[in-house]
Amino acid sequence: MIQNTKRNCPICNSKNKKLLFRQKFFPLSDGSLLTSYDVVVCETCGFCCADNIPEQTEFDIYYQEMSKYEYQDSGGKESEFDLMRFQIYLNTIKPYLPSTKSSILDVGCATGRLLSLFKESGYENIQGLDPSPVCCKVAAKLYGILVQTGNLWDVEIPEKSFDCIILSGVLEHIRDLDRALSILGNMLSDDGILFIDVPDASRFSMYSDAPFQQFSMEHINFFSPISLSNLVKHFGFFELLSLQESYPQSANTVSTSVMGIYKKVENLAPIYIVRDQLTQLDLTTYIKQSQKIEECIHQIINDVVNKASPILVWGTGTHTLRLMETSRLSQAKILAFIDSNHRYQGKKLFDIPIIAPDDIKNKHEPILISSRVFQESIKIQIRDILKLDNDIITLY
Ligand SMILES: [Zn+2]
C-alpha cells in the first residue's frame, strides 16, 4: 500500500494550507498510484497544489511503468495539435539561443518530436531524457535523436552540460520541486536558460474540459504566472520572459498554459515572493462549474442505468475512474471497457475486462464515450475507422 504524506508549500515552505477540494479516483484492479488527493492553497504565498500524495519515488515508478506518452497507437506520431504547440516552443526559444551549436536537453521528451523540430532548424547538439524505455527506441528510430532513459534524479549528466533545458508539461507532475530545480540549475551552463511550460491554473475556469479533469492523478502542482515566477526566482533564476498561452488541445477543446524563459544567475539578490491571489479565486470558480456539469452527466448516466441494457464504455483514464467513484456508472451493465492504450488492454477495471478498439467489431451494444477531450475523435474512430453503427452515448 502506497503511503500518502503531507508536504510543505514547495515554494515558500509554509505549513499553513487551506483545503479547496478533495479529488477522488477509482483504482485500476491491479493497483494504482492514488485513490484521492487534497487540492490546497498555501495561505502564505497563494500557491495551489495537491497534498496528501505519495512520495516522489512512487511517482517515478508509476511513470516508468505506465507511460502513456509513447504514442503507441499512432506509430510514434503526435497529434497535429501537439505539433502546433511544439512549433510555438521552437519559435519562442530560438531568439534566446546564441547559436545553432547551443546544447539542448528536453526533459520528459517522449518520442522526441519537439527536438526533431530543433534538428530540422539546424541544431545538432540535442538530446532528450524520458522515464519510458520505449521513448528512447522510438526517438532513435523516427528522428535519429539520442534519448536517455531515466529521470532527473538518477540520470548521469555532468554539471554545466546544457545551454538550454526544456521542461514542457513536466513541473506539474513533480512532487520534489526543490530537488528538481537545484539539479536543473547544476546541469545548465553559466549563461544557460530554462524553458518551462505548465498548465495555467489561474485560467482553468475559462476553458471547458471534463469536470475536475484538471485535478488529474498525474497533475499535482497548479501553477499561475505568479507562482511559477516565485518558484524559479526562489531557486536562483532570473525571469527573461513570461507568457500566458492558449492552444487547441483537440478538435473541440483548448488548453491554457504559462510559458517562461529563465536565466541562471549566480548570487542573485534575495527575492520577495509575490502573493498569488488569482489561482485560488479561479480554482474556486472552476470547482463550482465542474459540480454543475457533473450534475448533467449524472442525469445521462442515470438514464443508462435505469434502461438496464448492456453497454460498452470507451476510456479507462481519470475520467472513467472518477465516474465509477462518483456516479452510478458502476451500476450499469458494462460488458467491457475499451481503451486504445495497449498497457491497459487485458487488465480489468471493476472486474470488467478492458479490450482494444479492434475487439468490438462483433459487438453491437451502445458505446458510452467517457472522455471530453477525445469525444469527437473517438466518434470518428467508431464511425469512420472501425465502420461500426453501434449507438453512441456522449456525455458532453
Ligand atoms: Zn507558499
d(CA 229, ligand 1 centre) in Å: 13
Cα separation, 163 vs 105, whole angstroms? 8
Number of H helices, E strands in the chain: 9, 17
Q: Say whether both 83 and 230 belong to one domain.
A: yes
- Quickly state the pLDDT bin for 77 (edges 50, 70, 90): low
Measured distance CA(287)–CA(21) in Å, rounded: 8
The pLDDT value recorded for residue 34 is 84
Q: Which of 30-34, 113-117, 215-219 has the lowest mean pLDDT?
A: 30-34
Rounded to the nearest whole angstrom, what is the distance from the C-alpha of residue 170 to the centroid of ligand 1? 20
Q: Is 17 a domain residue?
A: no
Ligand 1 center–CA 348 separation, angstroms: 40
CATH number where 335 lies: 3.40.50.720
On whether both 151 and 271 belong to a single domain, the answer is yes
Contact 294, 349 (CB under 8 A): no
Quote the ligand 1 centre to 223 CA distance (angstroms): 12
Structural domain includes residue 46: no
Give the Å distance between the CA of 132 and the centre of ligand 1.
32
91, pLDDT greater than 70: yes
| Cα of 233 from ligand 1 centre, angstroms | 14
CA of 258 to the centre of ligand 1 (A): 18
For residue 1, what pLDDT is reported?
73
Average pLDDT over residues 68-82: 59
| Residue 53 to residue 58: CA distance in whole angstroms | 10
Strand order, beta sheet including 367-369: 348-349, 352-355, 334-338, 311-314, 367-369, 392-393
More confident residue, 44 or 272: 44
Determine what percent of the chain is predicted with pLDDT higher than 90: 73
Kindly state whether residue 14 falls inside one of the protein's structural domains: no
| pLDDT (mean) for 241-265 | 90
Within this chain, do residues 164 and 279 fall inside the same structural domain, yes or no? yes
Residue-wise pLDDT for 339-389, tens only, equals 998 888 999 988 999 999 999 999 999 999 999 888 999 999 999 999 999
State the CB neighbour count (10 A cutoff) for residue 71. 19
Within 13 Å and on the Cβ side, how many CA atoms surround 105? 24
- Categorize the per-residue pLDDT at 209 as very low, low, confident or very high, splitting at 50, 70 and 90: confident
Q: What is the pLDDT of residue 242?
A: 97
The confidence score (pLDDT) of residue 184 equals: 96
CA 222 – ligand 1 centroid, Å: 12
Instruction: Classify residue 355: in a domain, yes or no.
Output: yes
**Same structural domain, 101 and 200:** yes
What is the model's pLDDT at position 76? 46
Instruction: Say yes or no to pLDDT of 29 above 80.
Output: no
pLDDT of residue 79: 79
361 and 279 fall within a common domain = no
Task: At 236, list the grid cell.
Answer: 536562483
Segment holding 130, helix H or strand E: strand 126-130
Ligand 1 centroid to Cα of residue 157, in Å, is 31
Query: Are 141 and 246 members of one domain?
Result: yes
Q: 189 in a domain, yes or no?
A: yes
Environment class of residue 190 by beta-carbon count within 10 Å: exposed (0-12), middle (13-18) or buried (19+)? exposed
**pLDDT 10s digits, 339-353:** 998 888 999 988 999
Mean pLDDT of 283-306: 96
Residue 5 lies in a domain: no
Q: Are 252 and 383 within one domain?
A: no
Query: Distance between alpha carbon 136 and the CA centroid of its chain, in Å?
Result: 20
Instruction: Give residue 249's pLDDT.
Output: 80
- Domain check: are 151 and 73 in the same one? yes
**Does 255 reside within a domain?**
yes
Of the listed ranges 60-64, 116-120, 121-125, the least confidently predicted one is 60-64
Task: Kindly state whether residues 343 and 258 are assigned to the same domain.
Answer: no
Task: Find cell 526559444 and name the residue.
Answer: 93
For the chain, what is the mean pLDDT? 91
pLDDT exceeds 70 at position 72? no
- Distance (angstroms) between ligand 1 centre and the Cα of 312 equals 44
The string of DSSP codes covering 166-216 is EEES-GGG-S-HHHHHHHHHHHEEEEEEEEEEEE-GGGGGGS--STTTTS-
Q: Per residue in 296-325, pLDDT tens?
A: 999 999 999 999 999 999 999 878 988 888
What CATH code is carried by the domain that includes residue 214?
Answer: 3.40.50.150
Measure 11 CA to ligand 1 centroid, in angstroms: 5
Question: Is there a single domain that holds both residue 225 and residue 317?
Answer: no
Q: What is the pLDDT of residue 385?
A: 95
Which of 269, 284, 299 is the C-terminal boundary of a domain? 284
Query: How many angstroms is it from 338 CA to the middle of ligand 1?
Result: 41
How high is the pLDDT of residue 177?
97
Distance of CA 298 from the midpoint of ligand 1 (Å): 36
- In this structure, the answer to whether residues 261 and 321 fall within a common structural domain is no
C-alpha 7 – ligand 1 centre gap (Å): 11
Tell me what pLDDT residue 28 has: 55
CA of 240 to the centre of ligand 1 (A): 23
What is the pLDDT confidence band of residue 266, given thresholds at 50, 70 and 90?
A: confident
Shared domain for 273 and 318, answered yes or no, is: no
The residue that leads in pLDDT, 280 or 27, is 280
Distance 13 CA to ligand 1 centre (A): 6
**Mean pLDDT confidence for 27-31:** 53
Residue 156's alpha-carbon distances to 153, 159, 187, 195, in angstroms, are 9, 9, 10, 21
Which structural domain range is residue 380 located in? Answer: 308-393
* Ligand 1: centre distance to CA 227 (Å): 9
Q: Provide the pairing of β-strand 104-107 with 126-130.
A: parallel
What pLDDT does residue 71 have? 45
Q: Grid coordinates standing for 255?
A: 488548453
3-state SS class at 354: strand
Query: How many domains does the chain contain in total?
Result: 2
Q: Is residue 154 part of a domain?
A: yes
